[in-house]
Chain A
Amino acid sequence: MTTRTRQFMKYSHTIGLSTMSGRGFYYPVDTAIGEDDRLYTVSRSLDGDPRGIRVTIYDLASEYFGTFGESGEDDGQMIWPTGVARDTQGRTFVSDEFTNRITVFDVDGDFSHSWGKMGSGAGELDGPSGVAFDRDQNLLVVDHHNHRVQRYSQNGIFLSEFGSFGSANGELNLPWGITASSKGDIYVADWRNDRIQQFSPDGEYLASFGRSGRDDGELFRPSSVAVDPDGYVYVADWGNERVQIFDPDGGFVQSIRGEATDSKWAEAFLEINLEEAAARDRANMEPEIKFFNDDPHEESSHIEKYFWAPTSLKLDSEGRMYVTESNRHRVQIYDKA
């Protein structure tokens, strides 16, 4: 069983391939959906290797359009990219929780400008992670080591902030992902508190749902959240290696463990590596294994189709769901059932 309760979303296809350059991803962490119907996935790569960090451009049909960005600390470069968002002008905003800055690439993928410096004062950053635009097209940045959300103009002028360290309503503990609903409400994946918190457009606390655990409706270290126009909330339940969907009142709707199949890029690899393809065909890709603990991270490391480190969840205007999995170097796509 990979999907429980009623089927709200159904699997469509997978895009991805583990590559350190060009077509594919290397430890991808977030995906932005552009106004041009193209997808922009940022890869974090691995520490100690300058290769792999980039934004890969492609579309729903797996057509590849190129990359931009690279490893480093100079303009247009990144060390620990974490979040990505696109504005209505076709610019790409990437957060970097190592350099503590937001880097903006223009519509051609060239460096435009950046802002941010280490600190805890207003406008300063300590580990910017999730990013999203609010209804006024200002950028919301999860300033996660400062346990708050900061709002900036697109040129990086600090506008406001909300949130502080703690576990009470409205407080945050190492938050990660963020989104703004069509109504303007702001939802934050309150990672260490194992919950999603909902705030008004001005940052006033409204509601919280999810509690710590591994059962349906429970969360363990959620990384990302998205909300559809009907108010349904979709959560990348990172520590449970699954996606969960909640109704507008916070009621549990569906849990998805992952159903990845070979992507077009994967098929292209296997077509020219026939020996590996044949051995893969003969393998049992869903073996029964007794694990020594209940951490689904173990199961996901053995069974390829399951989500493994789902760091990002996004919805497009058609209601499709895109789940970026850093450890599997791919994006799983689901349609409305």
Chain B
Amino acid sequence: MVTATKDMQLISHLMRRAGFGVGLPELESLAQNGYNETVNRLLKPTNVQEMTDDLIRRYHHEQSGMMGQNNPGAYWLYKMITTTDPLTEKMALFWHGIFATGYPKITQGKVLNDQIRMFRRYGTGNFRTLLLELSKDPAMIVWLDNHDNHDGAINENFGRELLELFSMGVGNYSEQDIKETARAFTGWTIGNTEYMALRAERDSIWPYGRIAWHFEFKEDDHDSGEKEFLGNTGRLNGDEIIDIICQQESTARFISRHMYHFFVADEPPVPQWPYTPPRDPKAIDTLTQAYFDNDYDIRAMLDILFNSEFFKSEDSWHERVKSPAELVAGILRLTGEFDRPRREILDRSTQAIYMGQHLINPPSVEGWHQGTEWIDTGTLVERLNFASQQMSNVENPGVAEIIGRVIGDGSHQADDSLVQRCLDEMGVTSVSEGTRSILENFAAQNRDLENDATQIVAQMLQMVAATHEFQRA
């Protein structure tokens, strides 16, 4: 029986939150370097390995051309399950949930996928740079109508959401600030605006498929007049508006609370934030200070977060409900099914849709509500069925390897060692007495049925996949 050390338990917790979880062999490998070094390697990955684009595109032509709405999610799932740099993918998920754009209005997957790639490039860097890139992102421009924001005829949509949903939050600016922001972003549009917007509106794939979009600044459509924004006056352009936004404490607190919500523990939905104080105000203070101390550097904030006591606390282990993307990716990393591109990837990503998360198609500009809101009677059944089916499929190479290891050292021969070993193999480092009791009773009953060793282990893996603890990070 493997007895996880406290450091191993902490690393497992870290990898569930900052990644998609780890199985026992990877945990043992990480533990050789310790918790601090694991954090360092997450924050500064080197020699990143993943399933490469050329390999994916050869087999999945729609994951290359990306005309439609489902294959970008399948492509992203490949990245999540094969990368050795899981934090970058988690941060892409994090920003996708905040800067939410969706297919119904954009009507082409390539442009939305380009935004996700932008999150990969800038999602752990400087927040000012990220906001600037977001403001130039073609999907965001069309999603929030900034291509209709003209000198002398402003459209406030992007300006409003930039302040309300992407940085400071409600209550920290005036309606006039929104108008001035909109003026500052006039002329920030996409190239060939008329043709591209018309094609998007008509969902046109003719004559030769989609044409990807690119940012264009149209100086002759930019309002270069004097503006006043949050007490600052001048001929402000969009990048100067972002400078001012990033200087605000409200921005630092807003981003910090999002980080806490995503990595530590559930916060209420964003619309309630003006009226509901943070769950842990000191943690938000700590992250806010990290934001200013490090020139808005996201990576530095994550470093502080992952090394904080509020993150490491045992009280939060296995308490945050995994999002469908996290759950599916974590399971597929364990099963090892996608050692090469396979047609089944689309089905696997579709399972996340059944569980309530259609990547690149969030329900609204607010993204998805996280935490326990992932769970209802329908999605719970989908989650349990998917996890159980995948982990009990002995054809999956990762499952076969787990079974081989469990049987190999005899852990399957006693009920308690079988339970503990399967928990360890699946990255569950602590369980309630109730869960353990249920699993051990199942082990005993199952053994009475004279199942063979492979069946005994596979069925225990199936049971662990359905536990409260495995379904949570």
Q: Do A and B bind each other?
A: yes
Interface residues of A, Cβ cutoff 8 Å to B: 16-18, 27, 29, 44, 46-48, 79-80, 97-98, 145, 174, 176, 191, 220-221, 223, 239, 260, 262-263, 265-266, 269-270, 273, 275-276, 279-280, 282-285, 287, 289, 292, 295, 297-298, 301-302, 304, 308-309, 326-330
Does B38 count as interface, using CB distance less than 8 angstroms?
Answer: no
5 smallest A-B Cβ distances: which pairs?
A266-B207, A46-B62, A327-B65, A301-B212, A283-B195
Distance (Å) between the CB of A286 and the closest chain B CB? 11
On chain B, the residues within 8 Å of A48 by CB distance are 70, 346-347, 350
> Considering the chains assembled together, what is the distance between the CA atoms of A330 and B61 in angstroms?
14
Summed over the interface, the residue pairs from A and B with CB atoms below 8 Å come to a total of 117
A279 touches B65 (CB 8 A): no
B65 touches A308 (CB 8 A): yes
On chain A, the residues within 8 Å of B194 by CB distance are 279, 282-283
A270 touches B195 (CB 8 A): no
Distance (Å) between the CB of A270 and the closest chain B CB? 7
Q: Knowing A239-B54, A279-B198 are in contact, say whether A327-B207 is a contact too (CB < 8 A).
A: no
Residue with the highest number of chain B CB atoms closer than 10 Å, among A79, A145, A176, A292 = A292
A18 touches B209 (CB 8 A): yes
Distance (Å) between the CB of B182 and the closest chain A CB? 25
Residue with the highest number of chain B CB atoms closer than 10 Å, among A16, A80, A275, A329 = A329
Does B286 count as interface, using CB distance less than 8 angstroms?
Answer: no
Distance (Å) between the CB of B219 and the closest chain A CB? 16
Q: Chain B 347-368 against A: per-residue CB contact (8 Å), 1 yes, 0 no?
A: 1001000000000000000000
B343 touches A79 (CB 8 A): yes
A280 touches B61 (CB 8 A): no
A47 touches B214 (CB 8 A): no
On chain A, the residues within 8 Å of B54 by CB distance are 220-221, 239
Distance (Å) between the CB of B390 and the closest chain A CB? 19
Q: Knowing A27-B61, A284-B192, A302-B214 are in contact, say whether A17-B206 is a contact too (CB < 8 A).
A: yes
On chain A, the residues within 8 Å of B275 by CB distance are none
B65 touches A260 (CB 8 A): no
On chain A, the residues within 8 Å of B53 by CB distance are 295, 297
Distance (Å) between the CB of B221 and the closest chain A CB? 16
> Considering the chains assembled together, what is the distance between the CA atoms of A184 and B213 in angstroms?
46
> Considering the chains assembled together, what is the distance between the CA atoms of A27 and B192 in angstroms?
25
> Considering the chains assembled together, what is the distance between the CA atoms of A127 and B270 in angstroms?
49
On chain B, the residues within 8 Å of A221 by CB distance are 54, 58
> Considering the chains assembled together, what is the distance between the CA atoms of A157 and B110 in angstroms?
43
Interface residues of B, Cβ cutoff 8 Å to A: 53-54, 57-62, 64-65, 67-68, 70-71, 74, 110, 121, 191-192, 194-196, 198-199, 202, 204-214, 216, 340, 343, 346-347, 350
- Of all chain B residues, which has the CB nearest A191? B58
> Considering the chains assembled together, what is the distance between the CA atoms of A29 and B340 in angstroms?
20
On chain A, the residues within 8 Å of B343 by CB distance are 47, 79-80, 98
A279 touches B211 (CB 8 A): no
B70 touches A327 (CB 8 A): no
Between A and B, 15 residue pairs with Cβ closer than 8 Å are A18-B205, A18-B207, A27-B62, A27-B65, A80-B343, A223-B58, A269-B207, A276-B195, A276-B198, A283-B192, A285-B192, A295-B53, A297-B57, A302-B212, A302-B213
On chain A, the residues within 8 Å of B60 by CB distance are 47
> Considering the chains assembled together, what is the distance between the CA atoms of A269 and B199 in angstroms?
14
Apart from A44-B61, A47-B343, A265-B207, 12 more pairs, CB < 8 Å: A46-B62, A46-B67, A48-B347, A145-B340, A269-B207, A276-B202, A282-B195, A287-B214, A289-B214, A292-B121, A308-B65, A327-B65
- Of all chain A residues, which has the CB nearest B133? A292
Distance (Å) between the CB of A98 and the closest chain B CB? 6
Distance (Å) between the CB of B125 and the closest chain A CB? 13
A80 touches B64 (CB 8 A): no
A80 touches B59 (CB 8 A): yes
Q: Knowing A47-B346, A239-B54 are in contact, say whether A329-B198 is a contact too (CB < 8 A).
A: no
On chain A, the residues within 8 Å of B195 by CB distance are 276, 279-280, 282-283
- Of all chain A residues, which has the CB nearest B342? A98
On chain B, the residues within 8 Å of A301 by CB distance are 110, 210-212
Distance (Å) between the CB of B218 and the closest chain A CB? 13
On chain A, the residues within 8 Å of B68 by CB distance are 46
On chain B, the residues within 8 Å of A273 by CB distance are 206
On chain A, the residues within 8 Å of B62 by CB distance are 27, 46-47
On chain A, the residues within 8 Å of B192 by CB distance are 283-285, 287
On chain B, the residues within 8 Å of A80 by CB distance are 59, 343
B208 touches A46 (CB 8 A): no
A326 touches B208 (CB 8 A): no
B61 touches A327 (CB 8 A): yes
B64 touches A309 (CB 8 A): yes
Q: Knowing A47-B71, A292-B121 are in contact, say whether A309-B207 is a contact too (CB < 8 A).
A: no
Distance (Å) between the CB of B168 and the closest chain A CB? 28
> Considering the chains assembled together, what is the distance between the CA atoms of A327 and B210 in angstroms?
9
On chain A, the residues within 8 Å of B199 by CB distance are 276
> Considering the chains assembled together, what is the distance between the CA atoms of A220 and B343 in angstroms?
24
B208 touches A260 (CB 8 A): yes
Distance (Å) between the CB of B234 and the closest chain A CB? 28
Distance (Å) between the CB of A44 and the closest chain B CB? 6
